[in-house]
Structure 1
Amino acid sequence: MSHYEPPLAGKLAGLTSSAIRDLLKLTADPNIVSLAGGLPDAELMPGARIAAAAESALRDSAALQYTESPGWGPLREVLAGRESDRLGRRVDIAEVFVTHGSQQALSLLAEVLLDPGALVVVEDPAYVGALQVFRAAGARIVAVPLDDEGLRVDLLADLIAGGERPAVVHTVSNFHNPGGVTMSPGRRQALAALAEEHGFWVIEDDPYGELWFDRPAPAPVASYAKSVIRLSSASKIIAPTLRVGWMVAPDRVCRAVELLKQGADLCGSALTQQIAADLLTDTAWLAGHIETVRGVYAVRAKALVEAARDNFGDTLRCSAASGGMFVWAEFTDGTDTAELLPRALDAGVAFVPGRAFAVRKPYANAMRMCFTTAAPEVLTEAMSRLAVAAGHRVPVQSAQL
């Protein structure tokens, strides 16, 4: 009797696993200093405060029940207030939609906004999670490069002038993942103006905006146009385990997303959304908590960049560590980071090669490093190990970590 194996969907043929998630499996060794993962520091997460909020929520059995597909109403009210302050305009609760992390919002938006073959413009280097979503949606992806002021909006304008018609432009406007840069105010206004003039959506992905070190991030792109959909999350400022993300979008977009979310998971967790609402409304506590996280991350970012300069000099150019979680670094001597990685792992340090974020340019000489989960002295040691692996220093006795 013949046996036929049922097929999988054809769209899976072009998808690959995240190189970053695969690399995390290799860095479980406690002897490896991992700069590869994009993880906030669990030691800074407010476990006791979360526990107290959970205990309070569980006094009401409603926390154990299904909740509304757009999110628990009181949480959406809290988020509408926070986003109103951020955008400088009133955000109605109908414009706020809570998702299972902001990554789910991105995935649902791809289904709502994109038909197969639609043009999506991304930044180059690009956020890997966005590339996975847009490729799964069957989009045609075109990359526009970054510089120190963020997305090259002038090149986007040239692309449009040449006849391209994007359906969506995706940007990580603040403390870019992986590029580390922040879009300038002028470019934010220019991007919003292009979206209004040519009728495309901008998805402004902003999980890092509150993690600034030197000065607050500029006003969001979404403050300049209603065709900008803003995404954010509690993962980086409180804890990823809550899986509370949100988007601010026109009501018609939220209603379309609601239809799809009902088919995906019906609704999010009433318990974690009530916990998030409790924490977000405790404004004095939250401000102090975020200030603590900023202070710790700022010291670590500075330590990483200074150690890179001390060990590599002008051979390694690093992005300005002014916020967020990442430093983007590029070798100027032709070092191929994909070839360097196995030697680096042998030396006890991990990073993500630039190729993982490439769309148009290969970024063979680049890498992303995350500074959030290691103490300054450990980051200094990591750069020393990397210099040995790259052949920039003679091996010496490694410090005990």
Structure 2
Amino acid sequence: MSATFPPLARRLDGLQSSAIRDLLKLTSRADIISLAGGLPDAELMPRDRIAVAADAALSDRSRLQYTESPGWGPLRDVLAARESARLSRAVPVEEIFVTHGSQQALSLLSEVLLDPGALVVVEDPAYVGALQVFRAAGARIVAVPLDAEGMRLDVLRELLATGERPAVVHTVSNFHNPGGVTLSPERRRDLANLAEQYGFWVIEDDPYGELWFDRPSPEPVAAYSPNVIRLSSASKILAPTLRAGWMIAPVQVCRGVELLKQGADLCGSALTQQITADLLSDTEWLTAHVDSVRQVYGTRAKALVDAVRARFGDRVSSTDAAGGMFVWAEFTDGTDAQALLARALEFGVAYVPGNAFAVSTDYTHSMRLCFTTSDAATLDEAVARLAKAHAATPAQP
């Protein structure tokens, strides 16, 4: 006899699995070079240093207990010092909240800041994780396009001039995922001013800010206004498995997040937060480690961009990777990137088609390429395979 179950919540209506996560299932074959995943390189993760920190944390059994919902106190102290230096102002510990990765912070903030139907402005192309969170919250999503200097604030101003009042504007300010661009210093100040003028929150999502190649990232948007909530993470500079993210926000926002987090998971992992605090506070070691990661990623980014331009010429335009993990590329010859993907997989290479990040523009001819997990020679081979797949695909009408 087949079971008949009660219905699930209506909030699930219309939600779909991330196209990127689904694609990763197809790219696990050893014969495929994947430019699809947004993963840091495991070979660059400080396994031995993490082991030392874990051993130190495990030396005291009391540290295996639950910790406070806002995060382990010493980690919050370390983060307050780091963020104070980053924002060029004193950030009190009360404004630091540790979460299970910055994605959890984004999810909890959507519950604290958004009522169903509230307007959220995102960038187009958009970070998929943000779209999933805001759609689950029942938000009304409007997209503002990117250009070489990040979110186009002229378009945001036009939206505001029509009388629209967003509850939240979300931006990936540094080395955008997937767009690869960085919000310019002038636009950072202007966005903060607009937030105060029109009374909305800015969520500044910044997991990549320390992964710059040629010059440091600009001062965060959060440096210019208390209306800006800043998110960051140890996943890209240390290891995703630590699941250590954090939020810098006014105390009343932190208290709201705390109430919801208590209902979700009570608290994070005291063990991994102690390990994270150990590594982040070891400033001499951390500086050398992050410098090494930057050097490797910078070399790989250049190799990928050079290979794309050498193999495709003016048939593809791409961003110059100045940091982060991604290159955004667009076919100028009418190639449908989604249609090309099936042929590319046959030739042993994968990428994410641009339509996976689309909100109001379909990005039919675009693709996101990740350079972090392959060396320069492998990246060149990946682009060679992509060029062969492109040549073997009938021209688009």
Alignment TM-score, normalising by the size of structure 2: 0.98
Secondary structure in structure 2 of the residue aligned to 1:77: helix
Structure 2, unpaired ranges of 5+: none
Residue by residue, what CA displacement relative to the aligned partner does 1:247-275 show, whole Å, maximum 9, x if unpaired? 00000000000000000000000000000
Instruction: Give the aligned partner of residue 374 of structure 1.
Output: 374
Instruction: Give the aligned partner of residue 67 of structure 1.
Output: 67
Q: Cα–Cα, structure 1 residues 174 and 392, in superposed 2: closer, same or farther, change >3 Å?
A: farther
8 Å CA contact retained: 1:312, 1:392: no
Secondary structure in structure 1 of the residue aligned to 2:173: coil
Instruction: Give the aligned partner of residue 141 of structure 1.
Output: 141
Q: Could you tell which deviates more after superposition, 123-132 or 61-70?
A: 61-70
8 Å CA contact retained: 1:311, 1:392: no
Q: Cα–Cα, structure 1 residues 40 and 3, in superposed 2: closer, same or farther, change >3 Å?
A: closer
Instruction: Give the aligned partner of residue 222 of structure 1.
Output: 222
Say whether residues 1:16 and 2:16 are aligned partners. yes
Displacement of 1:147 in angstroms is: 0.1
Correspondence 1:200-211 to 2 at 5 A: 200-211=200-211
Amino acid at match of 1:181: V
Root-mean-square deviation over aligned CA pairs = 1.1
Give me the whole-angstrom Cα distance separating, in 1, the residues matched to 2:319 and 2:6. 48
Q: Percent identity?
A: 73
Give me the whole-angstrom Cα distance separating, in 1, the residues matched to 2:391 and 2:280. 48
Secondary structure in structure 2 of the residue aligned to 1:390: helix
Q: Cα–Cα, structure 1 residues 3 and 279, in superposed 2: closer, same or farther, change >3 Å?
A: closer
Correspondence 1:310-325 to 2 at 5 A: 310-325=310-325
Instruction: Give the aligned partner of residue 96 of structure 2.
Output: 96
Displacement of 1:392 in angstroms is: 7.4
Secondary structure in structure 1 of the residue aligned to 2:219: coil
Residue by residue, what CA displacement relative to the aligned partner does 1:237-294 show, whole Å, maximum 9, x if unpaired? 0000000000000000000000000000000000000000000000000000000000
Correspondence 1:1-400 to 2 at 5 A: 4-391=4-391
Structure 1, unpaired ranges of 5+: 394-401
8 Å CA contact retained: 1:117, 1:138: yes
Give me the whole-angstrom Cα distance separating, in 1, the residues matched to 2:327 and 2:369. 5
Amino acid at match of 2:311: N
Residue by residue, what CA displacement relative to the aligned partner does 1:10-52 show, whole Å, maximum 9, x if unpaired? 1111100000000110011011000000000000000000000
Instruction: Give the aligned partner of residue 397 of structure 1.
Output: none
Give me the whole-angstrom Cα distance separating, in 2, the residues matched to 1:21 and 1:256. 30
Secondary structure in structure 2 of the residue aligned to 1:294: helix
Give me the whole-angstrom Cα distance separating, in 1, the residues matched to 2:12 and 2:336. 29
Residue by residue, what CA displacement relative to the aligned partner does 1:190-236 show, whole Å, maximum 9, x if unpaired? 00000000100000000000000010000000000000000000000
The ranges of structure 1 where at least 4 consecutive aligned residues each deviate by more than 6 angstroms after the TM superposition are none
Give me the whole-angstrom Cα distance separating, in 2, the residues matched to 1:357 and 1:167. 22
Give me the whole-angstrom Cα distance separating, in 2, the residues matched to 1:392 and 1:161. 48
Give me the whole-angstrom Cα distance separating, in 2, the residues matched to 1:180 and 1:211. 12
Secondary structure in structure 1 of the residue aligned to 2:123: strand
Give me the whole-angstrom Cα distance separating, in 2, the residues matched to 1:293 and 1:62. 34
Give me the whole-angstrom Cα distance separating, in 2, the residues matched to 1:326 and 1:311. 18
Displacement of 1:61 in angstroms is: 1.2
Amino acid at match of 1:314: D
Paired residue total = 393
Displacement of 1:60 in angstroms is: 1.0
Alignment TM-score, normalising by the size of structure 1: 0.97
